[in-house]
Structure 1
């Protein structure tokens, strides 16, 4: 197994934001939204049976340029999504994307650190995140915050890159999935794979939150996913 090699926690230059937004995430984003849909539908049914007519309140950590919240809102409503990121430049691009999608009243952006959220305890029906955890030097802080802000009976859905077990496999993934990207985009993808966690490392994070290890599964040749109804 190759050792974890940290990358910068915040991608906060204009070039990084524009290059990230321009990369073709469409298939990954589509799969994320479709995989999340059963949890959202179950949450809606649970609220309806309890006579709760409020929209599902969802927290998206590390939203980047907000492409995944937009994808989700195209599939289900009503929602209120608080989409956070520590990178101001990412949020600037995200705001443009949200405005173009006509979702400015549904997706609200907040400049916030996932390790120390400005949110009340038990204030969200669900917490989601895509490709944030590999940026965090000590991810347990993020998991602890997630546990704090989810309502009883809520859910979490986290997906991130899986660290390859060899440099040869890392190179294969970069070649396979970033062949058409520019050099900066390929470098970002390579660095992200090197900074990603292994399945066992994610299981340890779940253990510390008293969540079942079985909640995490390998879901592609380069991703792990935590899906958990509390």
Structure 2
């Protein structure tokens, strides 16, 4: 199945709230565990989350790693507003800084990051090189990279089945977004080619039937 790009941003509050209200507790909780297993040590210092969305994963990381501080970057103001509300409610605002930016951008703070991560952003990008070039530009010598995303199924029939199995009870706007995202996702082979072009030597790991991890220290 050929890739079908989707809009890069969730620009309406309706989309953002539908996404935020969906139950990602199992998948997002597992994401933190996958990171811990691959990072292999205590996380401290600054963490950059590119495409932080509504902040659910960011909140989970902040609770799990109390010695770290976080910068969340997103191009969608509705998503950033939901992130700010979430962190205020959780009492985590003092360890958070949010920046509205469209990568590549000079607005993303340049500093010594312990970790640069991104969750479910890659498939939104019409040109994936902007993510890998941003990572390459901002990462230091010992920065650990952790990128997690969807990977594209073999056929549209598989996409429809996965959407129904995993989000059959969700609002229609979310089901359509999920369908579009699966069609827009990259395969592991395509990501491997992207990394080679960017000059990044990172590990690629397929997880489950629809996810892929890209990780490692530069």
Pick from 146, 158, 164 the counterpart of residue 169 of structure 1: 158
1:219 aligns with 2:207: yes
1:121–1:89: structure 2 CA closer, same or farther, 3 Å change rule?
A: closer
Runs of 4+ in 1 over 3 A off after TM superposition: 38-41, 119-123
TM-score by length of 1: 0.90
How many pairs align?
218
1:120 shift after superposition: 5.5
Partner residue of 2:119?
A: 130
Equivalences for residues 58-207 of structure 1 within 5 A: 58-119=47-108, 123-207=112-196
Which whole-Å CA distance do the structure 2 matches of 1:204 and 1:190 have between them?
24
Query: What stretches of structure 1 of length at least 5 have no aligned partner?
Result: 45-54
Q: Which residue of the partner structure matches residue 10 of structure 1? A: 9
- Between the aligned partners of 1:106 and 1:30, the Cα distance in structure 2 is 20
Once the two structures are TM-superposed, the CA of residue 26 in structure 1 deviates from its matched residue by 0.8
Question: Would you say the 8 A contact 2:167–2:175 is kept in 1?
Answer: yes
Task: Using structure 2 for the length normalisation, give the TM-score.
Answer: 0.94
**Residues 64 and 5 (structure 1), Cα distance of their counterparts in 2 relative to 1, 3 Å cut:** same
User: Aligned-pair distance for 1:43?
Assistant: 6.1
Q: Distance in 1 between matches of 2:110 and 2:77?
A: 25
Deviation string, structure 1 residues 122-153 (Cα, Å, up to 9, x no partner): 63221111100011000111101101101101
